[in-house]
Amino acid sequence: MAPDTPLQLLGGLTPREFLRDYWQQKPLLIRQAIPGYQSPISADELAGLSLEEEVESRIILEHGDQPWELRRGPFGEDTYQQLPERDWTLLVQAVDQFVPECRELLEQFQFLPSWRIDDLMISYAAPGGGVGPHYDNYDVFLLQAEGRRRWKLGQWCDSDTALLEHDELRILAGFEQDEEFVLEPGDMLYLPPRLAHYGIAEDECLTFSVGFRAPSASEVLSHFTDFLGQFLPDEERYSDLGCAPTQDPHQIQRDALLRLKGLIDRHINNEQLLMTWFGQFMTEPRYPELVGGLDIELGECFGALAEGALLVRNPSARLAWSELDDGVVLFVSGLSRRLDGELRELLKLICSADIFYLDNLAPWLDNDEALTLIHELVKQGSLEFANDE
Ligand code: SIN
Ligand code: CO
């Protein structure tokens, strides 16, 4: 995507300007980011999704059994008949994985890495509905798809900010309102992480949230060191070869700490392993159970392609690729595969195309490594035959 072309989606800013001046820093209200936007899903269809076993959904009622009652889906047919007229919200996660037309919206955000995008959450709110004043640790774009919603923006928060006593929801105990605006269909609000916000439906409304993934420092360190640990032999240990005689045997001296630091530094700075871990971590599917594989032989797989079958990307799979010192690597749904640099263009195609068939795979069909890769992606479930049920 051209970084210096002004985008309507960003209110006329170029991606470069938006990333420099707003991204992760300050909110941006964009009137008519997508003029005439028509929601590809109706409120009834969204409620229908919330009945499905594999769909993650929640209902939040402001005045339920307790203030801000949280109910978790899947819901029953009767759930919606029993809800009050107002002041509740239904939230459905990862609608992009279940409704192809909703997935198209994410294509507008290609000025950001796809592996940073987590999911498209869609909320339906009855009049007055909202999820309470809160902050998120992630960036979010909130596109108003139907009806009007009043957004109030408040203070910057962190883990010391006081919350209401609630077992499951993180609702702010105090909201210090700064700005407020009413969003109409097609308007969009960008919010950086940790900014307090409170959206209240003026009338029945649908709001689309494009949410991002960012591991916490604690996750990075604990998961990466677990990953590194797998490659370290048990005999590699803290060593004090050449140490001086102790002065006080009960004291841990600084030289011991420096040896320990040497041990950590020797491994923690391995960029190739860090890249491998990071790619695997960022492509972990939100719902791994939806990336189910197909038990198929290589010959059968390419035989089907030769007969005109189409392969499509599993909407629950996540893909990314990267350069390594000695080749390229494909990250796919939490796994990584190192490949010869010759396959770079195939990796780019696998990450970007929606559909694969004999013609667009043709340049690689006489390369065994490429055939094995495609076969593995089908067996693993990240690529699927289009009509395979
Ligand atoms: C909503 O869509 O109701 C909530 C979105 C958010 O505040 O993050
Ligand atoms: Co939020």
The phi, psi pair for 212, rounded to 5°, reads -115, 160
- Strand, coil or helix: 65: coil
Does the beta carbon of 210 sit less than 6 angstroms from any atom of ligand 1?
A: no
Contact yes or no for 153/195 (Cβ under 8 A): yes
Six-digit token string for 140? 């979010």
CA dist., res. 166 & res. 205, Å (int): 26
How remote is the CA of residue 134 from the centroid of ligand 1, in Å?
9
How remote is the CA of residue 312 from the centroid of ligand 1, in Å?
31
Q: Which of 123, 134, 141, 144 to mutate to test the pocket of ligand 1 (most atoms within 8 A of CB)?
A: 123
CA dist., res. 89 & res. 110, Å (int): 29
Does the beta carbon of 207 sit less than 6 angstroms from any atom of ligand 1?
A: yes
Least distant ligand from the CA of 157: 2
pLDDT tens digits for range 216-251: 999 999 999 999 999 999 999 999 999 999 999 999
Residue 286's pLDDT is 97
CA dist., res. 189 & res. 253, Å (int): 54
CATH of domain 288-388: 3.40.366.30
**What atom of ligand 1 comes closest to residue 123's alpha carbon?**
2
Does the beta carbon of 123 sit less than 6 angstroms from any atom of ligand 1?
A: yes
Does the beta carbon of 131 sit less than 6 angstroms from any atom of ligand 1?
A: yes
How remote is the CA of residue 136 from the centroid of ligand 1, in Å?
10
Count of Cβ atoms closer than 10 Å to residue 243 Cβ: 11
Count of Cβ atoms closer than 10 Å to residue 255 Cβ: 12
How remote is the CA of residue 321 from the centroid of ligand 1, in Å?
31
Does the beta carbon of 60 sit less than 6 angstroms from any atom of ligand 1?
A: no
384 bridge partner residues? 312
Contact yes or no for 90/124 (Cβ under 8 A): yes
pLDDT tens digits for range 176-186: 999 999 999 99
Residue 389's pLDDT is 46
Consecutive 10-residue runs of the chain (389 residues): their mean pLDDT?
95 98 98 97 98 98 95 96 96 97 96 98 98 98 98 98 94 97 98 98 98 97 97 96 95 96 95 96 97 94 96 97 95 97 97 94 96 97 82
The phi, psi pair for 324, rounded to 5°, reads -125, 170
Q: Give every CB contact of residue 305 below 8 A, 6+ residues apart in sequence.
A: 311, 356, 357, 358, 361
Q: What is the CA radius of gyration of the chain?
A: 25
Say whether domain 8-212 belongs to CATH 3.40.1180.10.
no
Residue 387's pLDDT is 72
Does the beta carbon of 136 sit less than 6 angstroms from any atom of ligand 1?
A: yes
Residue 21's pLDDT is 98
CA dist., res. 93 & res. 138, Å (int): 15
Kindly give the residue spans of alpha helices, DSSP state H, lying in 58-140: 100-103
How remote is the CA of residue 219 from the centroid of ligand 2, in Å?
21
What is the per-residue burial (b if ≥16 Cβ within 10 Å, else e) of 44-82?
ebbbebbeeeebbbbbbbbebeeebbbbebebeeebbee
Does the beta carbon of 140 sit less than 6 angstroms from any atom of ligand 1?
A: yes
Least distant ligand from the CA of 195: 2
Residue of the CA atom closest to atom 5 of ligand 1: 209
Entry pTM:
0.95
The phi, psi pair for 97, rounded to 5°, reads -80, -15
Does the beta carbon of 209 sit less than 6 angstroms from any atom of ligand 1?
A: yes
How remote is the CA of residue 171 from the centroid of ligand 1, in Å?
12
Does the beta carbon of 144 sit less than 6 angstroms from any atom of ligand 1?
A: no
**What atom of ligand 1 comes closest to residue 211's alpha carbon?**
8
Residue of the CA atom closest to atom 2 of ligand 1: 123
The domains of the chain are located at 8-212, 288-388
Residue 1's pLDDT is 76
Kindly give the residue spans of alpha helices, DSSP state H, lying in 246-297: 254-268, 271-282
